[in-house]
A and B are shown apart, each in its own frame.
Chain A
Amino acid sequence: MTRELINRFLIYLLIAVCTLWLIIPFTMAVLWSLVDPAEPWTADKLMPPVVSFYRWHNMWVNSSLKEALLNSYTLAPSAAILTLLLAIPTSFALGRISFPGREVAKVIALLPLVVPPFVTAIFFTSLLFSLGLHAWRFGAILFAHSVLFLPYAIRIMTVSFEQVRQDHIDAARDLSASTIARWRVAYLPALKPGILASLLIVFIQSIEEFAIAFIVGSPNFVTIPTLLFGSLGQDFVRPNAAVLSLILVVPNVILMLFLEKLLRSANPSMSSGKGMA
């Protein structure tokens, strides 16, 4: 009985801590974004003295926010789709074809992730410049993001391909399914969660990526992070940064929740026969 009580107490405590962990920074960001320039929010006051949407309006009208939003939200989905397309053949090979050195190849595919992103960015951009790709800034950043975030997509899709059941493929063939029908009935249901997860991860990575977008893009091509880091620079205005960071984070959270729901509806372990517990 007491044990149960302690358990329940600990669970509530954990939920409370997690909630605070999420809520405090968000609340701070929201509050800061609402500070009116008429009177600054100084350390001696618990709440901002004057609250208004001035900063939001101001950022919307006077900064390159609209352009940055447009750029970021075209770039990120394009990078997500391109990365997925690039990852699928490799993942298929790593997940479904047995060849000597497969396990080593899987590790090598992940290796680029251990290099600090800024280091990669500097050398990758010099590569882009020597290729002459920088003339088309959008294309250059798209290419760079797709290559850089490929390891995530490859890793996720490899696991997904490993989960496709050979007996489902065989059954489809045995029942006269064409190559396309075979993909639809045996591969796609098992790959769906992986596809969604790769798209989301690359999307979020791309939308938050600063280094390459800055080196290749600035000053003509703004994305949300370059704009954000710009306003963290020499003329640092905390309320403006709060507006930008909220704009950056809110769509991601929504996407995350959306994906969580999708993933739940496409359960790969849902199956029959031998594989079932």
Chain B
Amino acid sequence: MGTVQVNGLQMRFGDFLALPDISVSVDEGEFVTLLGPSGCGKTTLLKLISGFLKPTAGTIHIAGKEVTHVPPETRDTAMCFQSYALFPHLSVRENLEFGLRQKRIAAAERDQRLDRVAEQLKLGPQLEKLPNQLSGGQQQRVALGRALIMRPTVILFDEPLSNLDAKLRDTVRMEIRRIQKDYNLTAIYVTHDQSEALALSDRVMIMNGGRIEQIASPEELYWSPRTSFVADFIGGANVLDAEVIGGKGEDHWVLSTPLGELVAASGTEPKSKKIKICWRPEVVQPDGNGPNRIETQISERSFQGSFTDLFFTAAEQTFRVQLPEPTVRSGENLAFSIRPQDIVMLESMQ
């Protein structure tokens, strides 16, 4: 049983079923990210785990104890809020100490924990300041420190970096990961930013419409998405319809697609005759001599730095190809091939 164990969790707001049935387990010391578009239920799930919402069905266990109906004030979780939610009239020190004072932790231990957190988050010089005298990044660290100092079984993050600028976001992101590892914290992190999720997590849970699309390591999600939603949401794969027209040796499947006949060999079996498949824009082989050769006219070219996006249209669908330093201009023809192992077979078509 995991440190956080969610079983058959259902959340209904009036007529709206936000989460139909969620079961997930998070192990000790694991960093799990809930990722999905807005309204997918990830924040609802976080609020259920933190105790701010009561589920309409199902159970939540934290460290082996059932906490489904335990209020947040007595639940052993600590939350890092998106808005930081620092108390504006209290100094950084008072903000950090607040939770320990509520729990009546002895002064000696309180000071010791405060020193440790202040040192780790480099907040020493800021302790006597008020939150509005700090920069966004410093406020973010105080919010993190205020949660860390509680030494919770689980630390919960609600899009903690969304108010920081891009450059700061990267540094704070690495800091969160480092501290999580140092303390061996179990962390559940909500975000809608896929690069954040991929960079931070041990496992990412992709949610859509209140359902779990896939829970897997970032690498597995990227290279072996199970549904077209995941394929498209993570890194924007080219998703297309396909019909299985035959097998070819072991694990090789011949597919009829809008791009012509393609051979797939990604180690899975097709779920039915009509399925969806995907391939990543960057997997194309520029020589165009291999299997799955495609020759097409490039309609658009967009330089992105280390690579260039090339777009083409086939069967009223736009596809994207990424190549480093391509010579082809828009309007010109490009030939490329896709290795069979790079074509991933997804769910059956409805």
Cβ B132 vs Cβ A173 within 8 A:
no
Cβ A176 vs Cβ B103 within 8 A:
yes
Digitize A166-206: 1 where CB-to-B-CB distance is under 8 Å, 0 elsewhere. 01101111111110010001100100000000000000000
Report the Cα distance A263→B79, complex, angstroms.
Answer: 32
Report the Cα distance A185→B95, complex, angstroms.
Answer: 10
Partner of B132, one of A171, A176, A185, A276: A276
Partner of B85, one of A178, A181, A189, A273: A273
Partner of B102, one of A167, A177, A272, A276: A177
**B256 touches A (CB below 8 Å):** no
Residues on A with C-beta less than 8 A from B82 are: 167, 273-274
Which segment, of B27-35, B70-78, B171-179, B273-281, faces chain A?
B70-78
**A102 touches B (CB below 8 Å):** no
Q: Which residue of B lies closest to A177 (CB)?
A: B102
Residues on B with C-beta less than 8 A from A274 are: 82-84, 163
Report the Cα distance A103→B74, complex, angstroms.
Answer: 35
Residues on B with C-beta less than 8 A from A172 are: 87, 98
A263 → chain B, closest Cβ, in Å?
14
Residues on B with C-beta less than 8 A from A174 are: 50, 72-73, 77-79
Report the Cα distance A186→B87, complex, angstroms.
Answer: 7
Cβ B88 vs Cβ A173 within 8 A:
no
Residues on A with C-beta less than 8 A from B132 are: 270-272, 276
Cβ B73 vs Cβ A273 within 8 A:
no
**B139 touches A (CB below 8 Å):** yes
**A116 touches B (CB below 8 Å):** no
**A165 touches B (CB below 8 Å):** yes
Report the Cα distance A114→B232, complex, angstroms.
Answer: 60
Give the B interface residue count (CB, 8 A): 32
**A132 touches B (CB below 8 Å):** no
Q: Given contacts A170-B79, A171-B79, are A176 and B85 in contact (CB under 8 A)?
A: no
Digitize B121-134: 1 where CB-to-A-CB distance is under 8 Å, 0 elsewhere. 00000000011101
Residues on B with C-beta less than 8 A from A100 are: none
Q: Which residue of B lies closest to A182 (CB)?
A: B73
**B146 touches A (CB below 8 Å):** yes
Residues on B with C-beta less than 8 A from A171 are: 79, 81, 85-87, 146
**A25 touches B (CB below 8 Å):** no
Partner of A273, one of B77, B89, B130, B139: B139
Residues on B with C-beta less than 8 A from A271 are: 86, 88, 131-132
Residues on B with C-beta less than 8 A from A175 are: 73, 78, 98-99, 102, 146, 150
* Chain A, interface SS category: helix
A62 → chain B, closest Cβ, in Å?
51
**B314 touches A (CB below 8 Å):** no
A273 → chain B, closest Cβ, in Å?
4
Residues on B with C-beta less than 8 A from A173 are: 52, 71-73
B121 → chain A, closest Cβ, in Å?
16
Report the Cα distance A98→B143, complex, angstroms.
Answer: 29
B34 → chain A, closest Cβ, in Å?
18
Residues on B with C-beta less than 8 A from A189 are: 87-89
B104 → chain A, closest Cβ, in Å?
9
**B1 touches A (CB below 8 Å):** no
Partner of B87, one of A176, A178, A185, A276: A185
**B90 touches A (CB below 8 Å):** yes
Cβ A170 vs Cβ B87 within 8 A:
no
A227 → chain B, closest Cβ, in Å?
43
Cβ A272 vs Cβ B81 within 8 A:
no
Q: Which residue of A lies closest to B101 (CB)?
A: A181
Report the Cα distance A219→B199, complex, angstroms.
Answer: 81
Q: Which residue of B lies closest to A274 (CB)?
A: B83
**A275 touches B (CB below 8 Å):** yes
Residues on B with C-beta less than 8 A from A272 are: 83-86, 88, 131-132, 134, 139
Residues on A with C-beta less than 8 A from B131 are: 271-272
Q: Which residue of A lies closest to B98 (CB)?
A: A175
Cβ A176 vs Cβ B99 within 8 A:
yes
Cβ A178 vs Cβ B73 within 8 A:
yes
Cβ A176 vs Cβ B73 within 8 A:
yes
Q: Which residue of A lies closest to B75 (CB)?
A: A174
Q: Which residue of B lies closest to A271 (CB)?
A: B88
Residues on A with C-beta less than 8 A from B71 are: 173
B158 → chain A, closest Cβ, in Å?
9
Residues on A with C-beta less than 8 A from B73 are: 173-178
Cβ A168 vs Cβ B87 within 8 A:
yes
A sample of 28 inter-chain contacts (CB < 8 A) reads A167-B83, A170-B52, A170-B72, A170-B79, A170-B85, A171-B86, A173-B71, A173-B72, A174-B77, A174-B78, A174-B79, A175-B102, A175-B150, A176-B150, A177-B102, A185-B87, A270-B130, A270-B132, A271-B88, A272-B83, A272-B131, A272-B139, A273-B82, A273-B83, A273-B86, A273-B139, A274-B163, A276-B132
Besides the known contacts A168-B85, A273-B143, 8 further A-B residue pairs in the complex with CB atoms under 8 A apart:
A170-B52, A171-B85, A174-B50, A175-B78, A272-B134, A273-B81, A274-B83, A274-B84
The 4 closest A-B pairs by CB, nearest first: A175-B99, A273-B83, A274-B83, A171-B85
